[in-house]
Amino acid sequence: MVPIYRRGLRSQSAFTLIELLVVIAIIAILAAILFPVFAQAKEAAKKTACISNMHQLGLAVAIYLTDSDDVNPRYRFCPDRIGDELCTNLTNPTSFTGPNEIWWAPYDNSVAPDSTGPYPNFKAGLTAPYVKNLQIFKDPTEPNWQVGYAMSYITEGPMGKAASSISNPSVMFVWDHRRTPGCADTRAGHTGPPWNPFPPSLDTVHTHYPTRHSLGFVNLRSDTSAKWRLPASLTDADFNADPTQ
């Protein structure tokens, strides 16, 4: 038989059902408060990583300029198109033109933009020699794309132009993008040349200006600075290397 005084001590040290429910409720409340905070911190870290990628791409472009007589890189070259190696007369500016084409970023245009491989026509890209790690071409939020960013091939943009001729240092050059690593308006009836910006107000599926970072996107400007923007804040000047023209 258990002594009476020991039975009393045992009953006093045990949790009651009400106490357990209170503890569970407190844990649930703390989880409800902290989980969004953790999610926001994780998103902030990815946004910071994306901005860092853009900064490194900006440095790569700056070094590229020293090797190219001050001329900005093009979004791609199409050596298999004899007479149109600059890919300027394509009806579809992102179509595959042959095994020798090379983009500004590591990409194989003969397979889907989100292909997991193999990549039979992969080229490291025009700016690859100026970076240490090809992973900077992938966005940390959506690493499923071969390239997480696109270069502007808008006719009035900075692509292929002498850096010294660009009067608008804040013109966007590269930005967050889904699918192909080149961006302009390719809607039916709007194809170029000349190539114009895709209207931000019509980008309802957020392909051209993804809202992957705090409802906005990160872009690299011609002055090699990286900025976060809301798509709704974009104006024509953001795409024009020389608004005075």
Q: What is the DSSP letter of 102?
A: E
pLDDT in tens, 137-166: 999 999 999 999 999 999 999 999 999 999
pLDDT in tens, 198-213: 999 999 999 999 999 9
How many Å from the N-terminal Cα to the C-terminal Cα in the chain?
Answer: 101
Q: What is the pTM of this model?
A: 0.83
Q: Whole-angstrom Cα distance, residue 16 to residue 5?
A: 20
- The residue-averaged pLDDT of 232-237 equals 96
The whole-number pLDDT of residue 195 equals 93
Q: Whole-angstrom Cα distance, residue 9 to residue 107?
A: 72
The whole-number pLDDT of residue 190 equals 85
Per-domain boundaries in the chain? 45-239
The whole-number pLDDT of residue 13 equals 60
**Residue 78, helix vs strand vs coil:** coil
pLDDT in tens, 74-126: 999 999 999 999 998 888 889 999 999 999 999 999 999 999 999 999 999 99
